[in-house]
């Protein structure tokens, strides 16, 4: 176990500035399955901000907070991606179908990394999202190959396993986790 985990920072949530707060709230509720836990207006040094708090975890008040105020004349987003873990390939296949039918979603790109199977896409305001399932293998990263979500779950998993096993540092995920635990305790970086 990481000796710093109990006393140091651990990730909790992320906030997005939005151009259309209602549209983004709808997307994260309807497509991504979040629920609104709170909402309100907050006075800040830059003026009032409307906030919507969303979560999928009853232990987390919010995992995402949406805030109005994103400039309309700036398309650059400093966030590379925000990633969400899911329990299986069936969820990814269902999400892929929902995303394909969703107006405003772009750059839908299913991929395998060998150690995970992912769907990357841009939400209605252009933030890159990854939704992924961990496979039972580790292989060195970065590694990315397209996946056909029309294949069966078994075929997708077999494709990912072949890719992972062909990588030079392939190993079962449990072994990799054990090694990471040892390295983190010792403070050893890659």
Q: Domain check: are 66 and 111 in the same one?
A: no
Q: Which of 70, 90, 107 is the last residue of a domain?
A: 70
pLDDT score at 7: 57
Q: Domain check: are 168 and 90 in the same one?
A: yes
Angle at 94 between CA 20 and CA 148, to 5 degrees: 105
pLDDT score at 158: 97
**Structural domain boundaries, residue 63:** 9-70
Q: In 10 A of CB 49, how many CB atoms?
A: 15
pLDDT tens sequence across 125-180? 999 999 999 999 999 999 999 999 999 999 999 999 999 999 989 999 999 999 99
In whole angstroms, give the CA distance from residue 131 to residue 139: 19
Q: Domain check: are 104 and 16 in the same one?
A: no
In whole angstroms, give the CA distance from residue 84 to residue 105: 16
Three-state SS string across 104-119, please? CCEEEEEEECCCEEEE
CB 70 within 8 A of CB 19: yes
Q: In 10 A of CB 144, how many CB atoms?
A: 15
Q: Domain check: are 117 and 32 in the same one?
A: no
Residue 1 lies in a domain: no
Q: Which of 70, 93, 109 is the last residue of a domain?
A: 70
- Which residues fall within 8 angstroms of residue 66, CB to CB, at 6 or more apart? 15, 16, 18, 21, 24, 25, 28, 51, 52, 54
Band of residue 5 on the pLDDT scale cut at 50, 70, 90? low
**Residue of 87, 40, 38, 94 whose CA lies nearest to 64:** 38
CB 13 within 8 A of CB 37: no
Residue 13 lies in a domain: yes
Residue 75 lies in a domain: no
Residue 43: give its domain's CATH number.
3.10.180.10
**Total domain count for the chain?**
2
Residue 130: give its domain's CATH number.
3.10.180
pLDDT tens sequence across 57-90? 999 999 999 999 998 888 787 788 999 999 999 9
């Amino acid at each position: 176990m990481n000796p710093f985990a109990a006393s140091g920072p651990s990730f909790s949530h992320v906030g997005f500035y939005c151009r259309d707060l209602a549209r983004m709230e709808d997307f994260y509720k309807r497509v991504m399955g979040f629920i609104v836990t709170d909402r309100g207006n907050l006075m800040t040094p830059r003026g009032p901000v409307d906030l919507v708090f969303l979560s999928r975890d009853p232990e987390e008040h919010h995992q995402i907070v949406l805030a109005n105020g994103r400039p309309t004349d700036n398309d650059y987003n400093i966030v590379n991606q925000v990633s969400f873990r899911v329990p299986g390939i069936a969820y990814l296949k269902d999400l892929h179908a929902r995303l394909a039918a969703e107006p405003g979603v772009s750059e839908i790109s299913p991929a395998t990394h060998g150690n995970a199977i992912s769907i990357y896409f841009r939400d209605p305001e252009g933030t890159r999202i990854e939704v992924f399932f961990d496979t039972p293998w580790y292989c060195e990263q970065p590694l990315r190959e397209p996946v056909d979500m029309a294949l069966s779950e078994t075929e997708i998993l077999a494709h990912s396993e072949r890719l992972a096993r062909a990588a030079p540092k392939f190993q079962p995920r449990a072994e990799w986790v054990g090694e990471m635990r040892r390295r983190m305790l010792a403070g050893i970086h890659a």
